[in-house]
Amino acid sequence: MRVIVVDDALLTRAGLVRLLAEVGVDVVAQAADARDIQALVADHDPDVVVLDIRMPPTFTDEGLLAASALHRERPELGLLVLSQYLETEYAMRLIEEHPEGVGYLLKDRLFDIAVLVDALRRIAEGETVIDPTIVARLLGRRRRQDPVDRLTPREREVLALIAEGLSNQAIAQRLVVTERTVETHVTSIFMKLELADDATTHRRVQAVLRYLRHAV
């Protein structure tokens, strides 16, 4: 996998590059801000760009703006946005604008390289990966009637784990059930959310998007 890392914090950037290199991820370029990101992507053709939300010059949402610009130019490019802070509105903004091939993780997750690498792989494959802390925060909110309300408690639990980026096998291990049981729950979720088996859409991504919209 080819990755570009963009973060203004030198220690964070260097540490991330080193961790990824140790597990065989090819970090083809790195930068301290988003100003030259389009040129870097054009020159190095990465699978995923990892970038911080808050970068120079204003340290507000430069990372999100850069991600949006990259997605417009290269919709197939994977984007993983990192944040030091729990900012659910930024996470939802990212997912609303680009529901496939994106992720939002808190920087605390970087200490677990297995989680990071798994997120990168899933994003490169077109899935959506949301930090479990964001999912938990959204779970604490309610919204008026919509198809998500039809889900059973177990189906909601499965959908929450899908939102975290887990595969059916990983969900089965987490819930201590068979993978076939998880597949049954996933099929039921798709039916209740009225997600047709359409080759042009990614049903897992669309299910996560509806789930997050419901929770906000």
Ordered by where they begin, the domains of the chain are: 2-130 (3.40.50.2300), 141-215 (1.10.10.10)
Please tell me which of 74-78, 113-117, 129-133 the model is most confident about, judged by mean pLDDT: 74-78
Angle between helices 153-163 and 132-139 (to 10 degrees): 140
Q: Distance between CA 33 and CA 66 in Å, rounded?
A: 10
The pair of structure tokens assigned to 136 is 């938990």
Residue of 37, 56, 51 lying closest to 105 (CA atoms): 51
Cβ pair 29, 40 in contact under 8 A: yes
Which is higher by pLDDT, 199 or 93? 93
Residue 132's pLDDT band (cuts 50, 70, 90): confident
Arithmetic mean of pLDDT, 118-133: 86
- φ, ψ of residue 92 to 5 degrees: the values are -65, -35
pLDDT of residue 182: 95
Residue 143's pLDDT band (cuts 50, 70, 90): very low
Instruction: Fill in the DSSP letter of residue 53.
Output: S
Q: Which residues contact 122 (CB under 8 A, 6 or more apart)?
A: 103, 129, 165
Please tell me which of 17-21, 201-205, 209-213 the model is most confident about, judged by mean pLDDT: 17-21
The pair of structure tokens assigned to 145 is 């009637």
pLDDT of residue 64: 81
Query: How many other C-beta atoms lie within 10 A of the C-beta of residue 132?
Result: 18
Question: Which of 15-24, 138-147, 163-172 shows the lowest mean pLDDT across its residues?
Answer: 138-147
Q: Report how far apart, in Å, the C-alpha atoms of 137 and of each of 73, 131, 134, 191, 215 are.
A: 32, 10, 5, 26, 9
Which is higher by pLDDT, 43 or 211? 43
E runs forming strands in the chain: 2-6, 26-31, 48-52, 78-83, 102-106, 128-130
Arithmetic mean of pLDDT, 153-161: 92
Residue 179's pLDDT band (cuts 50, 70, 90): very high
Arithmetic mean of pLDDT, 5-29: 91
Reported as a single tens digit per residue, the pLDDT across 25-72 is: 999 999 998 888 889 999 999 999 999 988 888 887 888 888 888 888
Residue 139's pLDDT band (cuts 50, 70, 90): low
141: pLDDT strictly greater than 70: no
